[in-house]
Every structure is written in structure tokens, then in C-alpha cells.
């Protein structure tokens, strides 16, 4: 069994038990109350016992976890307060990632892996537009057209729109207006850097779940400062990553420790304006991913940011100070206080508003899986560097990473775009025929020999150009000339 992780000290020492670390958790509190430090302390403890960690670095504060910490008055004050005799500074094994490939190894996913549900969320599509996007994915799947990058989806949308009438019988109506809405959203995503995220080589999740030579879990730090400029993209990307973990990792049941701890910073962005289908997907993943050996920890300013159906699954709680300046704030304080197992020695609602920086209300699961009695406690100081790492050190770590060179070069193999570009047909009949196991297109010899039915104009011209028709034309001309000459004589 792995050693318990000491994270705070109140009336007693507070430990996160490794076998309960996959029961998910919440770190909440107002800005500047110490949430980032708490996240760092938890990540360090999990790494020490061999658990891999993934966390998004929204403000750039977490990149320094790769370096040993430095002594300063605040650290010394906390060490003396908690009487930490065996405290020593140390850095941890880190892999830096970046969707844009600037501050870490590129992270890519294929369009097919993202799927129509998450893309509809990313594009903010309505129900009709989402259904059309799903139909386009279905057409591509049935015809063996790989959707890997943005240009594949763009080509497939154009092809489906141009041949909507041919696809209607088998797949349903493909509205041109809905196709246009998706294409506009795709263009916006392309301008925001989506072309760098979608493509190959796609991320291999095993590269995130590994240990170093000392048995410490790898800490995966995602540079999210630029990604946060498009909050919907940020939330959709992390939800995709969580969904991939859920779908690909095998069941391991109740293990001695998790395989991976996933920290979702600025968690409220995941749930803002999320459709019902997406909320159900999130709840399903959070409920069931525990048995895959993954613990999910949401980091947010207010517990009310998390829907109740998800909040009820978060068993390990670290609640920093909340400010009750407005009626809504007061409601949040009461709600947060009611979620803890009560402590007769502590007025939880009052304590939440009085907590100092680095102080928190902590409740962790015991060995039987029951929530511990909430305690007012000081979080331990981190042993790694607080704040960002220097750019030159970051580059050194990137180049010495075990995955360096694996994702830096883009691969563009034959997929939907290339296949559709090579086709000469102008309708979807051949594609539908292949799907049904038949070929509906006529042989070229038959097409050449077949003649169109004559029209009424063709028949009239045939009569006019016949010998009898030409004789009638001559008689009409003579009569017309005689009439004109007779009129001229009378005038004279």
C-alpha cells in the first residue's frame, strides 16, 4: 500500500488516502485565497507515490513545479507554524504540453476522436444544426472517409451540401442553412488556431501515464494561458481529454492508488451554457471513470459553479475562504457549509468567511470511504517552486522529455479531403450505391449510345426543314411580296 499523503494540519494531521484518491474532489475558494498552492501540494503528493497527474496551467503559476522551491519568509513561517521537521525542497518530473506547440509538446486530436457531440458544443450549434453535423459524420463513416483535420471536415461538409438530395433518402434531410452554420463555425475555429489542434499524430494517452526512474508519477502541465482566451475551446478540449480517458482505459476496480489524477482548473467554464446532452455526458464520465483508476478534481471559485449531479460525486473537499458581500455570496457560503460533515466544535458557515490565505476547511474520505469530520486547517507549503519557470529552463525540459520528437512533426495522410478532391463525379449516387452494395451509375458505353427524348421544339424544326416545309415557306414569301407591291401601286 502507498503511504498516505499529508496535505494539511488542523486539530490533527489530514491525509489523502491513496485508495480514496480516485473518488474525486473539489478545491474551491475566492481569488487569492490559496487554491493554486493547494492544487500544487496535492499534485506533489500524488507524484511522490507514483500517480501521474494532469493539470491545466491557466495563469502560468504551475510550471515551476519542475524546480525545487526557494526559501522565503512565508514558507519559513508556515514550516514553523506546522512544526515540519523533515521539510526539504525538491522538483518533480514534468512534461509540458501546449495545444499551440509553443510552450510544450503539441497536443492533437482527430476530428473523428472529438466526435459530433463535442464539436456541436464547441461550435455552439442548435439541435437542428447538431443533427446535420451528426449526419455528415455518419455519411463519412459509411463511405470510409477519414475525418482527421479541419480540411477533411470542410471538404465533407461541402460534399454533403452539394449532394444533399442524393443523401436524403438514406440519411435524412441535410439542410443547406445548417451546413452553412457549421462551415462558419469551422472558419472561426480555424482562425483561432484549431488547425494546429486537429490532426495527426494524435495524443497517445499512455504518454501521460508514466513514472520516472525514481518511481514518481509524471506531472503533465498544460500551458492554458493562450487557450483560455477562447473559454469554450478550453472547456471542450479538457472534456474531450477526460472522455478519451474514460473510453480507452481498462477497468481496474478499487486499486491501491489511481493511475491518473486529473485537475480541471476554472471548472465553471465546463458547465456554462452546456446543453442537457453534454451535462449527461459529463455526469456519466465522472460517475464511472473512478473504476478506470482516474480521480477528477475540479478547481473553481464557488461550489455553486458545479452542478449538483456532479458536485455530489466529489468526496475529497478543500474549501478556501469565500466572501459574503452579496445575497448570492451568502447563499454560496451556506450551500458550501451544508456539504461538509458537521463538526460540533466548528461553525462552518462562519469559518468560511474568516479563513486566511493558505487556510482551508478540509474533509477527506477515511479508509471506509466515509467523509471525515471537517476541520479548519493550514495547507502544507509546496516543496517545489512557487510561480512560473524560466523560459530557457522550460525549453531544456521539453528537449529532454521522453516524448520529445514524437509530436513535433505534423503527419498529413490520405483522408476525406484528398479522396474527395480526387473524385470527378458531381453527385452522390455512386457513394450511395457503394454503401448499399450496388453501383447505380450506368456504364460509359450505355451513356454514349442513349439519346434524349425529342422535345416539341425539335419536332417543329424537323417539319420546317423538310421539303414540304420549305415549299410552304416559298409560297408564303411570294404572297407577302405580292401584297407589298400591290400596296405600293395604289399609293402611286
For the segment 54-74, the average pLDDT, to the nearest whole number, is 93
59 and 177 fall within a common domain: no
Percent helix / strand / coil, the chain, rounded to 5: 50, 15, 35
153 and 249 fall within a common domain: no
Q: For residue 480, what pLDDT band results from cuts at 50, 70 and 90? A: low
406 within some domain: no
Proportion of the chain above pLDDT 70, given as a percent: 86
| Top-confidence residue, 9 or 421 | 9
The DSSP-derived string for 362-384 is EE-B-TTSPBPPPEEEEEPPPSB
pLDDT at 85 over 80: yes
194 and 204 fall within a common domain: no
313 and 171 fall within a common domain: no
**Using an 8 Å Cβ cutoff, are 108 and 200 in contact?**
yes
228 and 246 fall within a common domain: yes
490 within some domain: no
| Top-confidence residue, 448 or 26 | 26
Q: For residue 491, what pLDDT band results from cuts at 50, 70 and 90? A: very low
Neighbouring-strand partners of residue 375: 362
For the segment 306-324, the average pLDDT, to the nearest whole number, is 91
For the segment 474-488, the average pLDDT, to the nearest whole number, is 54
Mean pLDDT of the chain: 85
pLDDT at 122 over 70: yes
**Using an 8 Å Cβ cutoff, are 97 and 107 in contact?**
yes
222 and 291 fall within a common domain: yes
pLDDT at residue number 445: 40
pLDDT at 419 over 80: yes
Q: For residue 253, what pLDDT band results from cuts at 50, 70 and 90? A: confident
The domain in which residue 118 lies consists of 111-198+414-436
Residue 393, Cβ density class (10 Å: 0-12 exposed, 13-18 middle, ≥19 buried) = middle
445 within some domain: no
Neighbouring-strand partners of residue 15: 6
165 within some domain: yes
* Number of domains making up the chain: 3
Sheet with strand 294-300: strands edge to edge: 13-16, 5-9, 375-379, 359-363, 316-319, 25-28, 294-300, 260-265, 52-57, 219-223, 94-98, 105-106
| Top-confidence residue, 462 or 40 | 40
Q: Write the CA distances from 119 to 128, 137, 240, 247, 475, integer angstroms.
A: 14, 11, 10, 17, 75
451 within some domain: no
85 and 137 fall within a common domain: no
Q: For residue 169, what pLDDT band results from cuts at 50, 70 and 90? A: confident
Q: For residue 416, what pLDDT band results from cuts at 50, 70 and 90? A: very high
219 and 193 fall within a common domain: no
102 and 117 fall within a common domain: no
242 and 391 fall within a common domain: yes
Residue 492, Cβ density class (10 Å: 0-12 exposed, 13-18 middle, ≥19 buried) = exposed
**Using an 8 Å Cβ cutoff, are 362 and 340 in contact?**
no
264 within some domain: yes
309 within some domain: yes
| Top-confidence residue, 334 or 105 | 105
Q: For residue 425, what pLDDT band results from cuts at 50, 70 and 90? A: very low
pLDDT at residue number 233: 84
241 and 170 fall within a common domain: no
15 and 155 fall within a common domain: no
449 within some domain: no
Cα 329 to Cα 372: distance, rounded to the nearest angstrom: 26
For the segment 287-316, the average pLDDT, to the nearest whole number, is 91
What the block records as the C-alpha cell of 63 is 510550471
Q: Where are the alpha helices (DSSP H) in 272-362?
A: 276-288, 308-311, 327-338, 348-354
Q: For residue 232, what pLDDT band results from cuts at 50, 70 and 90? A: confident
Q: What is the CATH number of the domain that holds 257?
A: 3.40.50.300
Amino acid at each position: 500500500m502507498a503511504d498516505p499523503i499529508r496535505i494539511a494540519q488542523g486539530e490533527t494531521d489530514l491525509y489523502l488516502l491513496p485508495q480514496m484518491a480516485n473518488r474525486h474532489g473539489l478545491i474551491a475558494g475566492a481569488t487569492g485565497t490559496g487554491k493554486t498552492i493547494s492544487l500544487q501540494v496535492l499534485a506533489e503528493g500524488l507524484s511522490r507515490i507514483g500517480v501521474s497527474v494532469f493539470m491545466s496551467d491557466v495563469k502560468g503559476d504551475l510550471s515551476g513545479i519542475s524546480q525545487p522551491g526557494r526559501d522565503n519568509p512565508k514558507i519559513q513561517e508556515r514550516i514553523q507554524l506546522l512544526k515540519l521537521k523533515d521539510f526539504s525542497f525538491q522538483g518533480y518530473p514534468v512534461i509540458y504540453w501546449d495545444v499551440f506547440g509553443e510552450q510544450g509538446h503539441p497536443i492533437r486530436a482527430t476530428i473523428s476522436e472529438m466526435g459530433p457531440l463535442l464539436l456541436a458544443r464547441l461550435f455552439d450549434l442548435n439541435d437542428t444544426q447538431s443533427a446535420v453535423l451528426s449526419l455528415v459524420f455518419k455519411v463519412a463513416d459509411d463511405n470510409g472517409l477519414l475525418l482527421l483535420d479541419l480540411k477533411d471536415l470542410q471538404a465533407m461538409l461541402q460534399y454533403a451540401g452539394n449532394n444533399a438530395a442524393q443523401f436524403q433518402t438514406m440519411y435524412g434531410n441535410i439542410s443547406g442553412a445548417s451546413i452553412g452554420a457549421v462551415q462558419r463555425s469551422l472558419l472561426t475555429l480555424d482562425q483561432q488556431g484549431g488547425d494546429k489542434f486537429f490532426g495527426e499524430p494524435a495524443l497517445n494517452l499512455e504518454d501521460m501515464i508514466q513514472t520516472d526512474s525514481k518511481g514518481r508519477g509524471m506531472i503533465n502541465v498544460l500551458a492554458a494561458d493562450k487557450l483560455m482566451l477562447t473559454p469554450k475551446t478550453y472547456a471542450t478540449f479538457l472534456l474531450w481529454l477526460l472522455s478519451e480517458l474514460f473510453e480507452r482505459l481498462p477497468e481496474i476496480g478499487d486499486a491501491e492508488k489511481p493511475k491518473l489524477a486529473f485537475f480541471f482548473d476554472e471548472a465553471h467554464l465546463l458547465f456554462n451554457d452546456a446543453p442537457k446532452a453534454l451535462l449527461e455526458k459529463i455526469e456519466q464520465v465522472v460517475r464511472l471513470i473512478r473504476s478506470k483508476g482516474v480521480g477528477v478534481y475540479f478547481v473553481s471559485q464557488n461550489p455553486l459553479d458545479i452542478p449538483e449531479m456532479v458536485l455530489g460525486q466529489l468526496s475529497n473537499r478543500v474549501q478556501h475562504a469565500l466572501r459574503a458581500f452579496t445575497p448570492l455570496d451568502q447563499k454560496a457560503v451556506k450551500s458550501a457549509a451544508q456539504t461538509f460533515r458537521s463538526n460540533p466544535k466548528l461553525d462552518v458557515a462562519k469559518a468560511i468567511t474568516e479563513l486566511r490565505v493558505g487556510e482551508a476547511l478540509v474533509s477527506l474520505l477515511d479508509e471506509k470511504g466515509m467523509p471525515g469530520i471537517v476541520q479548519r486547517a493550514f495547507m502544507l507549503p509546496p516543496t517545489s517552486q512557487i510561480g512560473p519557470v524560466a523560459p530557457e529552463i522550460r525549453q531544456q525540459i521539453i528537449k529532454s522529455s521522453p516524448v520529445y520528437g514524437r509530436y513535433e512533426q505534423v503527419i498529413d495522410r490520405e483522408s476525406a479531403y484528398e479522396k474527395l478532391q480526387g473524385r470527378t463525379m458531381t453527385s452522390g449516387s455512386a457513394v450511395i450505391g457503394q454503401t448499399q452494395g450496388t453501383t447505380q451509375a450506368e456504364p460509359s458505353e450505355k451513356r454514349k449510345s442513349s439519346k434524349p427524348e425529342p422535345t416539341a421544339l425539335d419536332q417543329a424544326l424537323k417539319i420546317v426543314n423538310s421539303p414540304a416545309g420549305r415549299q410552304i415557306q416559298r409560297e408564303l414569301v411570294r404572297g407577302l411580296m405580292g401584297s407589298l407591291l400591290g400596296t405600293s401601286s395604289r399609293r402611286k
